[in-house]
Structure 1
């Protein structure tokens, strides 16, 4: 070998070495690029999956908000119709959960300006809708069901709910479009990366042969397996979320079913109580009329019989008072303001409080009111005091001393228009219980706020007390120290006119009061209960009138046609064939102007929404004196159409 050949061989070897080195370097570069490309594919796939999960979370949460708001409004509607406080609590809880879900939704879309705009609109509409529904809930809480129902239907026409739904639909639509765009981009990126990888793989095959080809195939298989595994995991997560949602919905459905059964049971109890009270009032009307008629016909010197009749009358009046409480329980007693002094209030309330508090409690009643009166509804005031007493008993765990003290005070007018000055009768309920912490004391009058365990209280007791006091122009205050007890004080506006016209205590010996003679009137009596009809006929006849009986409201026209004249129609309200107002509305034109006096054992809601117009109403049971006054006042309306107060 010559030097030239040697040099050529060396150059060839060097060239081969360089070529091999370049090929090895190229192979390493290709391998590195291949690894980087695969890593980028995996990263893009992971980002795409994360974007998909994020979009699904946003859409699911938006639907959750929409469903929760719809459920809350449905609960509020049932609360407005039924007045059930548990439904009000359901509305309050659902609305709070919807607010929390909207906050989570805002966090999820904080990196998307378009979605943030939708969320801002949603939050503003949600606050507006909450204010509208809060007025409806507050009206229901204060017992203004007609106003609450009107506001609820007005709220249904509000554009706030439309804006809420439009915002949620916009969020879902934009997120779906964003999901589709991201998916399309991810697929295009994966296809582009896959193409590059294939080119590199082909180039690698040319460089390193079949080994690199096999490696690429294995890598491709591993990548496909990873994608399939990620997709399977995503599907499993979605299936788990769906199962959890179904479980929660099933649990909520069961809870709603239980609440519905409780509401139906309470409605049935209320209807049953009202029906019993109605029948009992009819029987009491017969008893009282019979006792008074018997007393009016006692011969002189029959003192023993008079005492027995007085005892029967007293028992009937006590039964009438109990019936009034049953009607109040059934929400069938109309508001009836009257002047009430502390002495008479305590006399009628002591037995009820003693039974409500139990044997472990000591009840102390103190009257320092100096005879001042307040004009309030007796049933509302008694229920308020009973609620406060029961709260105090719970604070003392059923053992302790409860003091109810009546007093009087003069409050000077201040700058606060909600706290007017004047003379007030005070009723304070003081206990020796555990007291209320300062951070809780500021919230005790809030609706639905309670510190009692779930199912032990509605959180409406003190808020109803606050509403009652403000309704009559008064005030309620509360003072408490932890470990020393609590004092709740009602300030009721003084009624001087009621003090001046207050009747003296009834004398037990006066069984049959003297009834002034009145003009004899021809009266048509319409009553489906034969015993009540007979008793009323005898009472009217004893008062000097000329009653004519009619047991069937559909036959009133025929009976009127047989009467020479008619000065008054005295009718029951609820009868099997026709109600009293329906019967009056169907009278012949010749008798359309005859005065009407309705007699009923029901009041308020018990009439089932029956409109009595401006006709006077006499409540069962009634005394002869009350019947005589009601007949005279009703007959006088034929000449004077001005409305008169019912007995």
Structure 2
């Protein structure tokens, strides 16, 4: 018996030692893995965040120079000192921003050299702007405009744009390399965690075999490791969410370009098919109409993403907001249904707004549909207009709001209202309180993007169980003709389309095939080219070409560069751009360049015909 007890004691002692050793080994593996994961992942994430910060600072720097030029142009043309605010803001911030950017790229000799060249040209550009502004202030408008016409400023801006693009592309490559490195590192870390878990499992098996009384401790340690892994994944998810908003705009632009090219082929060819099908072919017409409807819904979703990301091309004009709202009233009543009462309260003496009218109508419709969904079976929607002013104290409390005069549209519903938590997320893309399939979560984010891009403001007031008021602050039109009457529409003249030849330039074969077929279907003469070099050759060889219809985003020479070269050869040439995505080519600060004609992909034959006839009628 004594020997048995001794043997049992030795066995228990041995099991205890095994259990203690296993437990100690488990703690060591867990601690080393956790420290390595935390240090390595943190370093990779810091480098990624650093590159994003560099790109954002460079984008702000370039935007300031553009704003300064825009303000200078406005001041030279109007003499209104208010136009100089962006120029003065750029003068205040450029040195500080360049210094901050220099600190950020201090560890990158190539980027430091690029920044030095960029900063030099920016200083030259600002000096050119200062000289013209000084001349204009001194009353020498002719001298100021002479400097502008010398193209000194344009050449500087082209160099700044090219240097900014090169700087951003270099940092993007660095960011891509860092993200790839981080991805590889995460793969290695996951492998290490898997190996660590296998070791833990083996230790757990040995400890459980040697002494079952230590099993609970081992399981607890395994759970701790799994919890640590889950915590790390949650931290990574939070980082991705923080970076998503900044990256979504760039991602949306690239996706929109390719996606809209594909949709242009689908929408255009389905539209042509419907035009050619006879009324008797009901089954084929039904299938074609269903396909066209789906493609148009996809195009609408892309437009909403561009609106949220503030990348849609806006064409703002002086707008009578009262006329816009009253013109929509009947359409809103039909859209919302008989159970929703629509009331409009239009203010007398309302200022004119400077805004893109079709996008404003789309925003009002979006908000009205949201109100209808919130009210359910019965309710009242009130749309009011008035003049409004936002002072400096309000602007300090709301980011991106400039103090000044605005035209206000307020939409008030008697719906269920929103809680503070819901209101805080209302403008986030894809956030919705509706059931699956009933909403995309892009309605309010689209309106928010449109207002910000238009230099306006949106504000929500809501109370649960009472209702919601959404206020749209539109920038007031302060131009000299803001109080004049709208020009009367010219009567439509009969146009001999065959007398006009269109040069169509598009690098995508599918899109080019559709546009060429559509223009011929409409009766125009057509010559096509797949790039800028061929287009210039065709322009020289065919003097009868009177209209240039070109894509904006093309490899090599862009559409904008092609237009500049074509107009240098043929000053009388009429130009129409077409694109699914525009950024700093024909759109600056979110607005179309003055006098620009643009077809947004996808488009139908009617839209193509309307744009061609409009440019012929000029």
TM-score calculated relative to the size of structure 1? 0.47
Normalised TM-score (structure 2): 0.49
